[in-house]
Chain A
Amino acid sequence: MSPAILKLIAQRLALGILLLLAVSVLIFVGTELLPGDVAQAILGQTATPEALANLRAELGLNDPAHVRYFDWLGGVLTGDLGTALSNGQNISEAMGKRLSNTLFLAMWAAIISVPIAILLGLVAVQHRNGFIDKLISATTLTSISLPEFFIGYLLVYFIAVELQWFPSVSTVYDGMGFADRMSAIALPCATLTLVVLAHMMRMTRAAILNVMQSAYIETAELKGLSPFRIILRHAFPNAIAPIVNVVMLNLAFLVVGVVVVEVIFVYPGMGQYLVDHVSKRDIPVVQACGMIFAAVYISLNIVADIVAIIANPRLRHPK
């Protein structure tokens, strides 16, 4: 790898870290601004003012904001996300399992949706403006236009209730076999796939169509190559950067945006965990979830940037 590329990648990583720090400030300030009082929430409406004051002091809620921020940030940097106010659990431990569940679901949704989306994009380009192209666009656009809770309930009704192929509630537990686990996540996975497919497919199609205008595509046609070889070998590699960008954006959505889907299918992931604790005004948990989501989002976008840099032959092979 050339020094120019390493420098660009180092720049991206440094920027990512800086961005994450900025996000940590935003999350902290944002949760500070939330209405309500944790002590009140924990002790209920009937608590005496003394009890409230004691609890506040115990939880460190009386320290100035910047002190609490650096305490918190120091913890986050050393892997200690603090303790949940509502039940005194260690957040890192409680979240570990949740996060791995969410990543498991997101990973399978990605493994299914990304290849399908790109393949559909390639096929749509090959039949551009024809019936197949329009059919692909119409179907995927319909699925993206429906809200995910609606798709989720449709799947529950038809596949879980009527056909009874997969369970409607995605219960997972330790020691569960792989096949059972896959069967449990089938419906949320399908819902997520339907939600992200259209965006990636359309972007693949648009990026490749854009490249298809290039003179080197004409060169390939005049070599007598088959249309699919032209698209795959000559157009696709030049469209990687925009495609990877939108793929990563959707992967990030699969991790960060699963809240609704997890709630529908009662899947024990990050989304459920976040929703539970928001309603309890459990600020440390909300902050921790926020940081994890931000880290996932930023790192996936950095990956997209780095792939785009590496895919550029001018950077890989300087003059």
Chain B
Amino acid sequence: MADSADETLLDIRNLRIEATVYPPGEDPHDITIVDDVSLTLGRGRVLGLIGESGAGKSTIGLSSMGYGRGGVRITGGQVLLNGRDILKGGMAGLRGVRGREVCYVAQSAAAAFNPVHRLMDQVTEAALKHGSADRQTVQARAIDLFGQLGLPDPETIGQRYPHQVSGGQLQRVMTAMALASGPDLIVFDEPTTALDVTTQIDVLAAIKLAIRKTGVAALYISHDLAVVAQVSDEMMVLQGGKLVEHGETRQVIEAPREEYTQALVSVRSIRHEEKPPSPEPVLTIRGVTAAYPGTNVDVLRDINVEVHPGQTLAVVGESGSGKSTLARVITGLLPPREGEVQFAGRTLSSAMEKRSRDDLRELQMIYQMADVAMNPRQTVRTIVGRPLEFYFGLRGKEKERRIAELLDEIEMGEGFIDRYPAELSGGQKQRVCIARALAAKPNLIICDEVTSALDPLVADGILKLLLKLQAEEHVAFLFITHDLATVRAIADSIAVMYQGEVVRYGPKSEVLSPPFDDYTDLLLSSVPEMKLGWLEEVIEHRRMESAGN
């Protein structure tokens, strides 16, 4: 159907996109971000654009609106929309396309809405600007769309400001905003990536329903194959700005042709057998209840968990569940109101300032954002060398030898020793942070969402490295994450947190086997699966259950 000429909505031919980069210490030069990519999209069709960061998927999506983010420029090819080359119309022509023929749904609606204007004014702005209808008509359409997208109080929610509605709701309002001017095409740029997994599923279902009802065509951009598989008719896999594979959704996920696609589909293949608990835990958290200073709301209530030597406890939960607060209590950044933290049999002082240097050494941390966890003005040598000096007083040759050893352990080698963080990739930065934590020879490392900011394949490499280091160094991990696939891959025991409490705790095999409590069931069933029709199955299943109750 998409083949017949008058049914073609978007026809991108030999697209080439470049940007000027300014690397430190080098002359500015141009790099190619998208290289010779072509695609066609029929009316009402949904095309998924898949790839890791840097694949150029957002850039291609935005090119359909003639927009280049930052210093990005379209330097070659054609973008035909409804048969016209939109790149030939100048800025005025593009302004006629944007917000009228093509609309955009951003990854973080929380940032994409202007904080000073009411939602309704923002939702109707494009439609009013392009003069498709008068204010009353557009507002009535917006209210109708709010209802279609399953927003609460569709009549009045538009009167609120962005900060007055939740992240999942904002993402729906943004979808309504895109639909409000009745476009031919919507570019969805990772619309559910920033959401919790249990919220994601509802937003995904709402978006899919809205696409089907309005018959709008869409470019759906995501790094998560399982998510895209639920909404797209066809898929394009991109790598480094080049097309790798293009096909119907079923073919791409069930029988990928290219090696790279196969790797993406089979990612998270790590198998980790859980180890039996030992009699003497390295970390015991007993009856911890904590509140932030100046508040009397307990963000943690009566937490009791243990971490065993050389093993991994995964603390899993959604944003606001208290899992990062737990890390703050363990490290002494937030003294608890009640309860205590025991480390290798002795009770740790509740405040970090009162802990001995050896206590500090035994307990290291790795963070989600490796870039901001390192001083950008220090080289890898200084970053990894600092704990060696601080804890062990190493100097000179001794220190150099140890740094080289550590770099070897994280599979990077001495060649990186004089690099600055800006000269490392995301995965390499996280590896340097791991080396820094290991340099202290700790018994326990708290890993706070360490793979969340990384692409799946890179994250996989980091997890494999952590498991290898655990086996070699016998270090225990307390692994904080919202990602259940990661938990399955590396945990020995699991604590599920919800609203400040541990709702389920035990060895991995028990926690992940039925019967489940309600929350764990919701959490587990919300993790997207790489199969067609998964979304409908889950939604249907939930409807039946709530009808049964």
Enumerate chain A interface residues (CB-CB to B < 8 A).
214-216, 218-226, 229, 233-234, 237-238, 311, 313-314, 317, 319
Contacts and interface: CB of A to CB of B under 8 A. Distances in A.
Residue of A214, A221, A224, A317 most packed against chain B (CB within 10 A): A224
A219 B113 CA distance: 7
Given A218-B106, A317-B161, A319-B163, A224 B126 contact: yes
B106 A219 contact: yes
Interface stretch (B89-97, B257-265, B324-332, B464-472): B89-97
B108 interface: yes
Contacts of A311: 116
A218 B98 contact: no
A224 B129 contact: yes
Interface in B49-77: 62, 65, 67, 69
A224 B114 contact: no
A226 B125 CA distance: 12
Contact of A224 (B69, B100, B122): B100
Nearest to A214: B111
B116 A313 contact: yes
Interface in B121-138: 122, 125-126, 129-130
Contact of B112 (A218, A229, A233, A317): A218
B114 A225 contact: no
A215 B108 contact: yes
Given A216-B112, A234-B114, A223 B161 contact: no
Nearest to B108: A215
Nearest to B110: A215
B161 A313 contact: yes
A224 B111 contact: no
B161 A225 contact: no
A113 B387 CA distance: 56
A238 B116 contact: yes
Nearest to A237: B116
B164 interface: yes
A311 B116 CA distance: 8
Interface string B163-192: 110000000000000000000000000000
B67 A216 contact: no
B116 A222 contact: no
A314 B112 CA distance: 16
Contact of A219 (B94, B114, B129, B160): B114
A215 B113 CA distance: 8
A229 B128 CA distance: 13
Nearest first, the 10 A-B pairs at minimum CB distance are A224-B98, A223-B99, A224-B99, A215-B111, A223-B126, A224-B95, A216-B114, A222-B104, A237-B116, A219-B112
A216 B108 CA distance: 10
Contact of B129 (A214, A222, A225, A238): A225
Contact of B125 (A214, A223, A314): A223
B295 to A, nearest CB: 16
A224 B163 contact: no
B99 A225 contact: yes
Nearest to B122: A219
Contacts of B117: 233-234, 237
B106 A223 contact: no
Residue of B65, B100, B130, B161 most packed against chain A (CB within 10 A): B161
Nearest to B164: A319
B103 interface: yes
Given A216-B112, A224-B94, A224-B126, 20 more contacts: A215-B111, A218-B106, A218-B112, A219-B104, A219-B106, A219-B114, A222-B65, A222-B98, A222-B103, A223-B126, A224-B99, A225-B95, A225-B125, A225-B129, A234-B117, A237-B114, A237-B117, A311-B116, A313-B161, A314-B161
